[in-house]
Amino acid sequence: MSIEIRGGVELPAVREDIELQTSDGLTLVGELALPYDRAPVATLLTLHPLPTAGGFMDSHLLRKAAARLPALADLAVLRFNTRGTSSPRGTSEGEFGHGTAEAADLEAAWRFTESRGLPHVWIVGWSFGTEIALKYARAYPSDGVILLSPPLHRTSEAEVASWAHDSRPVIAMVPELDDFLRPAEARQRFAAAPNIEIIDVQDAKHLWVGETYTRRVLDEIVARTNPSALPLPTTWE
């Protein structure tokens, strides 16, 4: 019997509770999801939305990426709670660092991907997670960066401009009806790095609520990381 892939449907994968150790002595909690019966072809290192506004490793796009993409697209998905953030998985040590101390959290996650030999790592940030990516991800040899609803609240013009001569793909998915940064302003704010590809998503909002927008985001992620897996199926046998 087939089931429709939507909402909280969780497809087969190997899921492991993991811990990350930061350079300043904190333990962060997370999960690694891998394809059930084969090696991953690429990896998503995900960075969640603002924890002081309810963001955490289970924020719905990241949870659905981990629930679906190991099975549908042979991707490994690493999710974790940044310092001071809680979820059903547990609470990461430390306190919210306003996008500054979280540099060490990204470093810890990157070192974990290296320790596990995870292939072709893409850094995927959502909202606050895009700030961490734009500020600090240039230090790591990822295959590329995907920015979902970048607010550019904490990222300076100089930090944006630092990406201008980076040869890796950087893709910003900007909702047409975003609460913080809409496509026209995004083009102005990202002008310092014209190589950053801006994708306007019609009718979408900052939180990407609804299956239509979930699928739009996951399709774009797979188009960049493992395009041979497209089109993603909408049912599972």
pLDDT one-digit tens code per residue, 118-132: 999 999 999 999 999
**What pLDDT shows up at residue 1?**
82
Q: What is the CATH number of the domain that holds 157?
A: 3.40.50.1820
Asked whether the whole model's pTM tops 0.95, one would answer yes
Whether 79 and 62 have beta carbons less than 8 Å apart is answered as: yes
- In this prediction, residues 74-97 reach a mean pLDDT of 98
- In this prediction, residues 135-149 reach a mean pLDDT of 98
Counting the structural domains of the chain, the total is 1
Residue 139 maps to a domain: yes
Residue 19 maps to a domain: yes
Query: What does the alpha-carbon distance between residue 66 and residue 18 come to, in Å, rounded to a whole number?
Result: 14
Which pLDDT band holds residue 60 (cuts at 50, 70, 90)? Answer: very high
Whether 30 and 89 have beta carbons less than 8 Å apart is answered as: yes
**What pLDDT shows up at residue 81?**
98
Residue 161 maps to a domain: yes
Which structural domain, as residue segments, surrounds residue 56?
A: 14-227
- In this prediction, residues 141-170 reach a mean pLDDT of 98
Proportion of the chain above pLDDT 70, given as a percent: 100
Distances in whole angstroms, Cα of residue 178 to Cα of each of 149, 171, 186, 197: 7, 16, 11, 17
10 Å CB burial of residue 235 (0-12, 13-18, 19+) is exposed
Evaluate if residue 20 carries a pLDDT over 90: yes
Residue 29, both tokens: 């909690």
Residue 232 maps to a domain: no
Residue 1 maps to a domain: no
Query: What does the alpha-carbon distance between residue 16 and residue 65 come to, in Å, rounded to a whole number?
Result: 15
pLDDT one-digit tens code per residue, 164-218: 999 999 999 999 999 999 999 999 999 999 999 999 999 999 999 999 999 999 9
Residue 73 maps to a domain: yes
Residue 4 maps to a domain: no
Residue 3 maps to a domain: no
